[in-house]
Amino acid sequence: MSDAVIPQVELDFMNTDHAAATSQINALDMLLSLVAEGDQESLDTVEATLQSVYQHSVEHFSREEAEMVRVGFPAYGCHKGEHERVLEELRAILQEWQQNKDINLLQNYVRNTLPGWLQAHVETMDTVTAMFVASRG
């Protein structure tokens, strides 16, 4: 994810949250690289880092959803539904890691699925949401 550029949106809190998410994803990716090289200490911190990614997502989505409700954003249900889908996916990935410690599965998710989703989500749903919220003060 380090080479991906997450676009800025019209709300500072969203930009700050997106930057934090990018940093967390990059940190998790780095840990996974170290684990793949046999670093046991890094293996021991993967789960906590993955849980941090999940918790940050819960908090970020909650902030976005509160703003959408506050201004009566028409596509709230669709946007919230996408948040719920991704949180369920993250829960499943976390559970899979806890049970099997499958480095290949987690690396694929962290390097491909999650960054691709974040980029597309910010470019579409978050951009439109931020413009709407900003226009309502």
Q: What is the pLDDT of residues 41-52, one digit of tens each?
A: 988 899 999 999
Domain residues for 90?
12-135
pLDDT tens profile 56-103 = 999 999 999 999 999 999 999 999 999 999 999 999 999 999 999 999
CATH number at residue 43: 1.20.120.50
Q: Domain count for the chain, please give it.
A: 1
How many whole angstroms separate alpha carbon 134 and alpha carbon 128?
10
Assigned domain for 1 exists: no
Q: Do residues 47 and 97 touch, judged by C-beta distance below 8 A? A: yes
